[in-house]
Structure formats: C-alpha cells, structure tokens
Amino acid sequence: MDIQISKEAAKWYKNELDLENNDNYIRFFVRYGGFGGNIPGFSLGVSKDAPEEVHAAKEIDNITFYVEEKDAWYFEDNDLKIKFSRKKQEPEISYEKRA
C-alpha cells in the first residue's frame, strides 16, 4: 500500500487540525459508518496520533501521514490517494488498485 497526498491537501490537514510544531503525525484509520469509503459500512477517519505499528506512511512538509497495521485490511491492496479539490476547498480521497 502506498499513500499519495498532494502538498495542497497536506497543507489543508495541517491547518484544519491545528498542528503545532510538535504535532507531526496524522493517522488515517477505519471507522464504522460514514459514506464514501472503500468498503460499504465503513469510512476513513483522521486523527492526530503518534504511530504504534505503521503499515504505510508518507512524509510531506515534516508531517507523517500514516495507516496502522490494524487498519491495513480496509485498503484491500489499494493505494490511498488524497488530492485537494479547489472546487470543494477540501481533500478528495480515492482508492486505486495497485498495479
């Protein structure tokens, strides 16, 4: 699994989550419910947490975006792609099958 995140999306998360100098981690995790997820009935949550057991990570502008091992099942061999939508003024999440 690979995490791909645009610089604009990373900046949005940094501002939206009020990251300070010591807040260097953003975790993507599986949560029950919601919509627009990779698996029906589940969706992707976001939090400021230090990692325990990283499955995949990407560092942008001194912020590590990551997924824990315990949430790897949710991605089903897909990459996580996050880009910033100028129209919606928020990140857009998609899942792309690994080649």
The pair of structure tokens assigned to 49 is: 């947490």
Total domains in the chain come to 1
Closest CA relative to residue 28, chosen from 18, 41, 38, 40: 38
- Cα 1 from Cα 72, distance rounded (Å): 8
- The model's confidence at residue 39, banded by pLDDT at 50, 70 and 90, is confident
- The model's confidence at residue 90, banded by pLDDT at 50, 70 and 90, is very high
pTM of this structure: 0.91
Domain span at residue 34 reads: 3-97
CATH code of residue 41: 2.60.300.12
Q: What is the DSSP letter of 59?
A: E
- Cα 84 from Cα 1, distance rounded (Å): 20
- pLDDT per residue as tens digits for the range 49-74: 999 999 999 999 889 999 999 999 99
